[in-house]
Homo-oligomer: A and B are copies of this chain.
């Protein structure tokens, strides 16, 4: 006997059913409920959720319907199916590295060197507050970072993080920062970055920036502004990156 009590919005025989609940297909309602359970932390990032058959029984639907619900979350990037093993909660973003916008001489796919130059908590400037969806003046953690390959500094990064979420980082020494930040956000702060939007523009280097990159002042540069979102869709990071425009390279596919 299926446990229909778990249905998010049971299709009862009453007249009390809301129009909204009837408008959405069953698989969509179940997907929403399942998403809630995932975001609530019922299954840790990287672990397998319950089996399709078990979930189908739990929600009192046919297997095909349950598969449709799961597929919706897979398309959304929240889950990952592996034949024969299970359906897994996706971990932090990979492949979102800023290095993908550049081609550097020999250094191909290695993780670049990374150096934290500054780490301060301060009141969010207006533009940063807007990008993070915060009130201006909210405390934020500002991280200045240099990234490079083969001893040469190639990218300058300014990273803004809402202080309440990232308190654990403010106490760290610069040397304790890992080269990849997103896994560190997940481990130290419980923040899983699931999506990011990069905004590319072209600019010219100021004196300070040029000096750090060993380039002349006014040299052409690529400026990337990123807003990163966690699995629940909250804005959790605003990042500005500068690099030599001559190293820029990007491939965009259209269909």
A interface residues, Cβ below 8 angstroms from B? 64, 77, 93, 95-96, 194-202, 220, 222, 245-246, 248-255
Chain B neighbourhood of A245, CB < 8 A: 202, 220, 245
Identical chains in the assembly: 2
Question: In the complex the two chains form, is B248's CB within 8 Å of A198's CB?
Answer: no
CB-CB nearest in chain B for A225: B251
**Whole-angstrom CA separation of A251 from B196 in the bound complex:** 10
Question: In the complex the two chains form, is A253's CB within 8 Å of B196's CB?
Answer: yes
15 A–B contact pairs at CB < 8 A? A64-B64, A93-B255, A194-B255, A195-B253, A195-B254, A196-B253, A197-B253, A198-B251, A198-B254, A199-B250, A201-B248, A202-B220, A202-B245, A202-B248, A245-B245
Pairs A-B, 4 closest by C-beta atoms: A202-B245, A96-B254, A220-B220, A200-B250
Chain B neighbourhood of A194, CB < 8 A: 255
